[in-house]
Amino acid sequence: MEYQQLVKISKRMSKALRHEPARVGLTLDPAGWVPVTDFLAAMKIDRATLDEVVGGNDKQRFAVAVGEDGVERIRANQGHSVPVELGLAEAEPPEVLFHGTAAAALSSIQATGLNRGGRHHVHLSPDTATARRVGARRGGAIVILTVLAGEMARAGHVFYRSDNGVWLSDAVPPEFIRTG
């Protein structure tokens, strides 16, 4: 299938699994999973298409797994706004992490820190190239912030790493943020 078409389906899948499952008639379990057969019907796609989107996804946004009951399910690895308990394990972060955002947000972020907005956590990138890509989604001028994750962890802040390598934390207070 063509790349653009796959991206379009991936976005629909993200919306259903992270934000608006009810809109397409789905109910996520407490950990965010739905049976693959229900999901295919709700998305109106076939299994081969699903496999192509999940396997070829640039950010490994989705996980497919067989439960103890033998039922195969799918969930989004992160990025939810609906309440789900992903069961992420705490992880020790690298000394620095990065956050790419709109330059226009800088003064607000310097005043109040990074907050999670509608998501469950603040999302942090392991490298500046990834942070740049995240920031570029906004259009316009971007800024790459350095987050002193090691110092934060030693001060008692908890970090998680999603299955697709995104670092997550509840909030980043301004004193742990550097520009440039």
Query: Where does this chain bind ligand HQG (CB under 6 A)?
Result: 59, 61, 79, 101-102, 105, 108-109, 112, 114-115, 117, 119, 123, 134, 166
Closest residue to ligand HQG, judged by C-beta, is: 101
Closest distance of CB 58 from ligand HQG, Å = 9
- The CA-based dihedral angle spanning residues 8, 120, 83, 9, taken in that order and rounded to the nearest 10 degrees: 10
User: What is the maximal distance between C-alpha atoms in the chain?
Assistant: 51
**Whether 102 contacts 142, CB under 8 Å:** yes
Closest distance of CB 148 from ligand HQG, Å = 16
The encoded tokens of residue 115 equal 């907050």
Q: Which is nearer to ligand HQG, 41 or 136 (CB)?
A: 136
Q: Which is nearer to ligand HQG, 56 or 117 (CB)?
A: 117
Q: Which is nearer to ligand HQG, 71 or 82 (CB)?
A: 82
DSSP at 82: S
**Whether 74 contacts 39, CB under 8 Å:** yes
Closest distance of CB 68 from ligand HQG, Å = 28
Closest distance of CB 129 from ligand HQG, Å = 12
What is the Cα–Cα distance from 103 to 18, expressed in whole angstroms? 27
The 3-state DSSP class for residue 3 equals helix
The encoded tokens of residue 137 equal 């989604």
Closest distance of CB 41 from ligand HQG, Å = 24
Q: Which is nearer to ligand HQG, 101 or 169 (CB)?
A: 101
The region that residue 70 occupies, defined by phi over 0 for left and psi between -120 and 50 for alpha, beta otherwise, is left
Q: Which is nearer to ligand HQG, 5 or 81 (CB)?
A: 81
